[in-house]
Structure 1
Amino acid sequence: MGLDTWVYTIFLIIGSYIAISVLLYFLQDYLLFKPEKLPKDFQFYYENQETEEYNIETRDGAIINGLRFKTKNPKGVVFYLKGNSKSIKGWGKFAVDFTRHGYDVVMVDYRGFGKSTGRRSQKAIKRDMQVVYNKLKEKVDEKYIILYGRSLGSGFAAKLASMNNPRMLVLDAPYYSLSKVGKRFLPFMPLSVLIKFPMPTYKWLKYVNCPIHIIHGTDDQLIPYKTSVKLSKIKRELTTLHTVIGGGHKNLNTFESYHKMLEDIVYSKRTEVDLTGSSIDVIHSSKRTNAKV
């Protein structure tokens, strides 16, 4: 192979790499988000659930549409941040997992999902979620607010918890960062430079001061279970890791153990453990000093 051929091949490889990088930069919004858009006159309906629809206008003119699933004499409210697909039309069916325990549930559609409008960006969505949270705080003391983040929503939930003081933070199938997730599938691409939604959950968790509950299935093929193990070590004194044996990324609600975990979580109270008389300070030596010959 001649020198000219080598040079041509190298430039072809470099050109292809740059072209793929440019495409990835501009198309990642379509790869990451799978929105379902709803007409403005769409009527939400959920059997045996009482709902209230609302719209919040943001400072840049976007409309954030949401629902409140209502209970009688609520014990508190769960702010449920959903995943990256569909709209609250379908996600609303999961509200019953909390209303059955006496908690109101608030769900919103991100920009471009459902009836919500506006241009999506990580900064804009974080700001939107804080606006919704502020509205909740006007009616409910923070000690009665539970933040629940599912998949994509886990990062936004962690960010909210890092800037506020909710009763607790629950992360369902969370990621370390979206940059790390992307790296699994595109290991040779410079995602740290290209990705518009890095979503560094691990950084935000460092500033969370409420109890943290992480739920993850051992058979999750999209976001590996080991991700939650790693996240659980960031604020280990505040974190409880709940493992759904055999659970995948989208089917945790089909496991009885998941619902038992939710029940334990929503009824849990933060308490100090009395370690007096325990083995916490016992040090095991590798030397068999008391072994008989």
Structure 2
Amino acid sequence: MYYVIYAFSLPLSMAYWVSTLIFILVIYVVISILLYYLQDYFLFKPEKLPADFQFFYENQEVDEYTIETRDGAQLNGLHFKVEKPKGVVLYLKGNSKSIKGWGKFAVDFTRNGYDVVMMDYRGFGKSTGRRNQKALKRDLQVIYNKLREHVDEKHIILYGRSLGSGLATKIASVNNPRMLILDAPYYSLTKVTARYAPFMPLSLLIKYPLPTYKWLKYVQCPIHIIHGTDDKLIPYKTSVKLSKIKPKLTKLYTVIDGGHKNLNNFESYHKMLTEILHSTPKKVDLEGSSFKVIHNTKRKNA
């Protein structure tokens, strides 16, 4: 009798585990599908603006522009102007709101003598069109080309903030701007999202991998990275890692206690930004310096 019970209990136990594994697999597949189709909702937080919305910024001269792309999308943006500009900053914003709110940061560049051009990504503000990574890169190249028609590349600065840092890096990698400034950049968007879904195959699911680290390898202009040590969304160590990709061209600026969204509230950030905007690349003569001198602690008086 005992043998009979045992003979039937094993298959039942196996059936239970098989059904459990199938259930888990189904749940995993369902979550993967949801992540794929809903990732735009999680990655982008756009603010829509009516077509007749009027932009206004106190003590700033600004023109609104709209550019139509080859696929019929409308790209809406702002051009902040100064008298006798030293150059122009193409400011690529983060993943939320619209240039209505981001426009207030233009003053940090106009006060230093630079024009500023901002653009709303597809689906943000007044901009229209179907959004995907290829379209975003193509749109920004269109804007960059428009700038080159009026300004020599040696006077164009690319500034990428958070989401915009990867896109700014891509544009810098295939052009020759004066410099690239990255504010709270990510190694890749796949790495950022992996922190919140570590067990999902994000390399296969994510439609916006935005591999900053890959594109940074092809950048030939000076690279300036600004990051806060208290950034909870994109850790400071990310910028340390990025700074090692092109070390001879890169300078890392650290905002002590700075978070992800509040660097503009730190005096040190504004000092760094002013230094960057007014800097000119200088070749350092290492002749007669301690470069490559070995510090041998075994020698007396070493």
Q: Please give the range of the TM-score, normalised by the shorter of the 2 chains.
A: over 0.9
Q: Over alpha carbons, which structure has the higher Rg?
A: 2
Flag structure 2 segments of 5+ consecutive residues without an equivalent.
1-11
> Could you say which residue in structure 2 is the equivalent of 1:87?
98
**Cα distance in 2 between the residues matched to 1:74 and 1:86:** 28
The residue aligned with 2:263 is 252
Q: Distance in 1 between matches of 2:119 and 2:299?
A: 63
Q: Is 1:189 equivalent to 2:179 in the alignment?
A: no
Aligned residue number for residue 210 of structure 1 = 221
Residue deviations 1:25-48 (CA, integer Å, cap 9, x gap): 000000000000000000000011
When the two chains are superposed, the root-mean-square deviation of aligned CA atoms in Å is 1.1
What count of residue pairs does the alignment treat as equivalent?
Answer: 291
Aligned partner of 2:145 in structure 1 is: 134
> 1:7 Cα deviation (Å)?
1.2
CA distance in 2, matches of 1:281, 1:118: 54
Cα deviation code 1:216-262 (max 9, x no counterpart): 00000000000000000000000000000000000000000000000
Task: Give the equivalent residue in structure 1 for 2:166.
Answer: 155
- The equivalent position to 1:16 in structure 2, one of 21, 27, 36, is 27
Paired AA for residue 126 in structure 1: K
The one-letter amino acid paired with 1:241 is L
TM-score (norm 1): 0.98
Aligned-partner SS, 2:198: coil
After superposing on structure 2, the runs of 4+ consecutive aligned residues of structure 1 that deviate more than 4 Å are none
1:277 shift after superposition: 1.0
Q: Distance in 1 between matches of 2:38 and 2:234?
A: 21
Task: Provide the C-alpha distance between the structure 1 equivalents of 2:40 and 2:248, rounded to a whole number of angstroms.
Answer: 36
* Residue 98 of structure 1, aligned match among 100, 109, 134: 109
* Inter-partner Cα distance in structure 1 for 2:190 and 2:264: 27
Letter aligned with residue 194 of structure 2? K
Equivalent residue for 1:234, pick from 217, 234, 245 = 245
Alpha-carbon distance between aligned partners in 2 of 1:183 and 1:279, rounded to the nearest angstrom: 43
In the alignment, the residues of structure 2 paired with residue 2 and residue 208 of structure 1 have an alpha-carbon distance, to the nearest angstrom, of 59
In structure 2, how many angstroms separate the alpha carbons of the residues matched to 1:161 and 1:102? Answer: 22
Unaligned runs of 5+ in 1: none
2:45 to 25, 31, 34: 34
Task: Report the TM-score, using the length of structure 2 for normalisation.
Answer: 0.95
